[in-house]
Amino acid sequence: MSLRHQISLRILLISLCILMLGGAIAIWQARNAVSNEVDSSIKLAQQLIKLSVGNTQFNEADWVYRLNSLEQTRHLNIQLRKPSGGLLNFNATALDVEQQELPPHWFIALVVSDYPKVEYPINTVDQQFLTLIIQANPMDEIIEVWHETLTFFKTILLLVFLTFIAVYFTFNQTLQAIQVIVENLKNIEQGQHPQKLPDFSTQEYNRIAQAINQMNDELSATQQQNQALTQHGFDIQEKERQRLSQELHDEFGQSLTAIKVMAVTAAYETSDTQAVTSAIVDICDHLMTVLRSMMKQLHPMILTELGFKASLEDLVHQWESRTPEIVFILQVDDWVDGMGETVVIQMFRVIQESLTNIIRHAEASEVSIRLTIEPNENMSILKLVIQDNGKGCDLDTISTGFGLQGMAERIKLLGGQFKMQSQEGVGMQIMAEIPV
């Protein structure tokens, strides 16, 4: 069931409960009102009769005259019973009740209760014993409370209807906002980045829209960065292939051609075989040097042969020989050699890229590399800190560099966190934490 139908059904059930509760309260109040009104009328009639009688005795005609003055008393049937048993009625309101439309029988049954019947003995001057009978006749009061109850119910129905309409339109507007937000999220899920969500009149939905718009901007920017990084990776790959192809052509092609020419020359009896052999050996040694250099650039064999720590020491030793003016400090735990191959390769490339950037741009005199493993609850954390004392930089101006993006992506692929800190004149610090 949709949210719209659930809300409508609940509003309807609440409205029915309100109507039922209001009906019960209205009937209870009507029953009390009729009972109180009838009791008051009976007591009033009794007091009037007592005041009229006093200590004076009247004949029958005088009593008939005096009781006629009570015929307008509401909610009562007043009768005078003669000694012969005949009854005289003094109730002019009965005609008005008959002329009005009576309430439903169920309402009368719910409102009516047992009312007292009063008989008052009267002695006349001529020693006749009359009986004054006062009996409740609440029909006119029931008619009044019936009309009041109808008015009350109509008011409740109108209020419930207006409330239902107000709530319905409010939730309808809310559901429309939700629909717009859901459609936008579906587009984002499909990789599309539609226009930003509009401002909503509801503060909560407006906050959700702002958060989604910000998320959409971040996703769009991240997607553009990933596309640029991917394209940059393809460009580097093509350049590397081109460089390798050129190097193979220049080094191996020329050297193999020279070896072939010398081999052909050595076939002649007049050739200096020893010189040719020596030249071929020199060319082969040169090819082996070039081959090792190319293999080292593609993948340092020392990683698999001697381990991660030895590879880092060899990398630092190479930079020390190239840049003797820079002091390198390397601190590596022996435990790092027990890490997986994927972690080792990615971390090696991060350190390699960091050192390259420092040598090219930092103008530093000291570089510190610290790689440690620290226990943390159910796993260990590999922590890498690379710090230099170079000129530093503004991170906002270099955060879009492909080298830094590449390092951050490598750490992110390992499930880690990558951070940088730098200020102009105080160098840069690169930190990475990876669960292992």
User: Model confidence over 293-345: pLDDT tens digits?
Assistant: 777 666 666 676 778 888 899 889 989 998 999 999 999 988 888 888 888 88
Whether the predicted pLDDT of 91 surpasses 60 = no
Whether the predicted pLDDT of 65 surpasses 60 = no
Segments making up each domain of the chain, as ranges: 3-166, 303-435
Q: What is the CA radius of gyration of the chain?
A: 53
Q: What span, in angstroms and rounded, lies between the C-alpha atoms of 128 and 108?
A: 39
Q: What is the mean pLDDT of residues 251-271?
A: 80
Reduce the DSSP state of residue 260 to 3 states and report it: helix
Name every residue whose Cβ is closer than 8 Å to that of residue 163 and which is 6 or more positions away in sequence.
Answer: 15
Q: Is the dihedral of CA 288, 293, 294, 298 positive or negative?
A: positive
Contact 432, 417 (CB under 8 A): yes
Both tokens assigned to 69: 């003055």
Whether the predicted pLDDT of 432 surpasses 80 = yes
Q: What span, in angstroms and rounded, lies between the C-alpha atoms of 20 and 156?
A: 11
More confident residue, 25 or 225: 25
Where do we find the tokens 């109507």?
19
Q: What span, in angstroms and rounded, lies between the C-alpha atoms of 116 and 135?
A: 7
Beta strands 327-332 and 366-376 are: parallel
Q: What span, in angstroms and rounded, lies between the C-alpha atoms of 136 and 78?
A: 9
Contact 384, 428 (CB under 8 A): no
Name every residue whose Cβ is closer than 8 Å to that of residue 382 and which is 6 or more positions away in sequence.
Answer: 336, 339, 343, 347, 371, 372, 373, 416, 432, 433, 434, 435, 436
**Which amino acid appears at position 234 of this protein?**
F
Whether the predicted pLDDT of 92 surpasses 50 = no
The CATH architecture that domain 303-435 belongs to is 2-Layer Sandwich (3.30)
Name every residue whose Cβ is closer than 8 Å to that of residue 406 and which is 6 or more positions away in sequence.
Answer: 229, 232, 233, 353
Give percent above pLDDT 70 in the chain: 77
Q: Closest Cα partner for 381 from 367, 369, 371?
A: 371
Q: Closest Cα partner for 387 from 370, 402, 404?
A: 370
The tens digit of pLDDT for each residue in 9-64 reads 887 888 888 888 888 888 888 888 877 777 777 776 666 666 555 445 555 555 55
Give the ranges where 69-104 is alpha helix by DSSP (H): 93-99
Reduce the DSSP state of residue 45 to 3 states and report it: helix
Residue 386 has φ and ψ, to the nearest 5°, of -120, 120
User: What is the total residue count of the chain?
Assistant: 436
Whether the predicted pLDDT of 164 surpasses 70 = yes
> For residue 385, what pLDDT is reported?
94
